[in-house]
Amino acid sequence: DRPDLEPPEKADGVSRRFVLTAGGVIAAAAVVGTIGRRMLADTANTLADRARLVLPVPAKPAPPIPPGTDLDVDGVTRFVTGNADFYRIDTALQVPRLTTADWSLRIHGMVDKEVRLSWADLLAMPMTERLVTLTCVSNEVGGDLIGNAKWLGVPMKEVLELAGVRPGADMLLSTSSDGWTCGTPVSAVTDGRDALLAIGMNGEPLPIEHGYPIRQVIPGLYGYVSATKWVVDWEITKFSEAKAYWSTRGWSELGPIKLSSRIDRPANSTEHAPGEVVIAGTAWAQHTGIERVEVRIDDGPWQPAELATEYSVDTWRQWKFAWQATSGEHDVQCRAIDKKGNAQIEDNASPAPDGSTGLDGRTYTIT
Ligand SMILES: Nc1nc2c(c(=O)[nH]1)N[C@H]1C(S)=C(S)[C@@H](COP(=O)(O)O)O[C@H]1N2
Ligand SMILES: [Mo]
C-alpha cells in the first residue's frame, strides 16, 4: 500500500492560481496590509536586482546549435523552449524573492570542510553554458511538462570540491529558500555530466519563477530529484539517513528520466485527405541519447521516422514521418529507441512513483 500520492503538478496548480506575475503579487499584496507592503518591497527588490545582473561570459560556451535541430514542420515543438513557454512546477505558494546580495550557499554534513559560498565567490568561478532538456516525473505520456533551455552556471562538481565529500556519503540533499528539499545521488554530480548551479536561462538571468537567482540543472534526472530552484543549502549525507520532500510522499528516491516520445502533430481526432500526412513530434532519453524513433499505423510494422539533427545526448530530438494515408480511421503510435538499444516501455504506467510509461498515440480520420 502506497501513501496517498499527491502529484507535483497538483501543488503547482495551487501556486499558479496565487502568483505567476509581479502583477499578481502586487494585487495579492495590496489586500494584506503590512505583509503586503513587505511582499511588494521584496518583489521590487528582486526585480531590480535581476534587471541589474549582467551575466558573465562563459569560459566554456555551449556548442553552437547546428542547422536541422528544428524541423520545418508546423506544430512540431521548437528545439529551444523560450523562457515564457517553459513549464513550471513547484510547491511555492509565493515565489521566493531573493536577491544576489541575500544569497549564499551553505555546504555542510559529510564534508571535509564546511563552506559558505557568496554570490561574489560564485561569480569568481569559471562558468559553463550547456543546453539541457528538463522533464517532470509527473509528465503523463504525451504530456508537456518538458522543456529545453540553454543554461549558464558553475559545474556543481567544482562547487562540491570546495567542501570535499567524505567517504560513504551518497546523497546531496539540497534545500530551497522556502524549505523544499531534493535528494540527488552524489555520483550524478561528480560523474562528468554537465550538472550546473545555473544562474542564466537562454541568455537571461533566471526568471523568478524558474529559481532566481540560482538553481540546479542535472541532465538525466527528473526535476524532483535534481533541479532545486532558489537553492541555498547543500547537506552531504546518505540515502539511508535522509529523505527529500517528494520521497516522504511516496515518490521514488531515485528518479532517472525514462526514455519517451510524443506526437506533436497533427492534433488528435482530426480529418485529413488521403495522401501524404506528416506526423511529427519529439523524443528524449537524457544522458543516453535517441538512436531511432519509429511509427506504427494500426497493427502494421514499426517504420523508421526521420530524425532531426542531434545536438547532444542531453537534449530532446525532433522527428517526422511522411505517412501515405489511406481512407478510413487509423491509429498512429510512436516509440523511441535509445543509444543503448532499449525500446520505450509499451505497458502503461502512471507517473507515480517514478515516471509514466506507455506509447503516445493519435487517431485520424482520412476521407
Ligand atoms: N524550490 C523548488 N525547486 C523545485 C521544485 C519545487 O517544488 N521547489 N520542483 C522541482 C520539480 S518537481 C521540477 S519538475 C522542476 C521544474 O523546474 P521549472 O519549474 O523551472 O520547469 O523544478 C524542481 N525544483
Ligand atoms: Mo517535477
What pLDDT is stored for residue 4 in this prediction? 44
Output the nine-digit C-alpha cell for 56: 558573465
- Who's near 163: CB < 8 A, 6+ residues apart? 107, 108, 111, 112, 113, 114, 115, 234, 236
User: What is the Å distance from ligand 1's center to 13 Cα?
Assistant: 13
What pLDDT is stored for residue 201 in this prediction? 99
- How many Å from the N-terminal Cα to the C-terminal Cα in the chain? 49
Span 213-229, pLDDT tens digits? 999 999 999 999 999 99
Nearest in space to 96 (alpha carbons), one of 204, 243, 207, 222: 207
Span 58-115, pLDDT tens digits? 999 999 999 999 999 999 999 999 999 999 999 998 999 999 999 999 999 999 999 9
Residue nearest to atom 7 of ligand 1 (CA): 90
pTM for the model stands at 0.91
**Is the pLDDT at 149 greater than 90, yes or no?**
yes
Quick check: CB of 91 below 6 Å from ligand 1?
Answer: yes
Q: In three state form, how does the secondary structure of 170-226 look?
A: CEEEEEECCCCEEEEEHHHHHCCCCCEEEEEECCEECCHHHCCCCEEECCCECHHHC
Element spanning 162, H or E: helix 156-163
Which ligand gives the minimal distance to the CA of 86?
Answer: 1
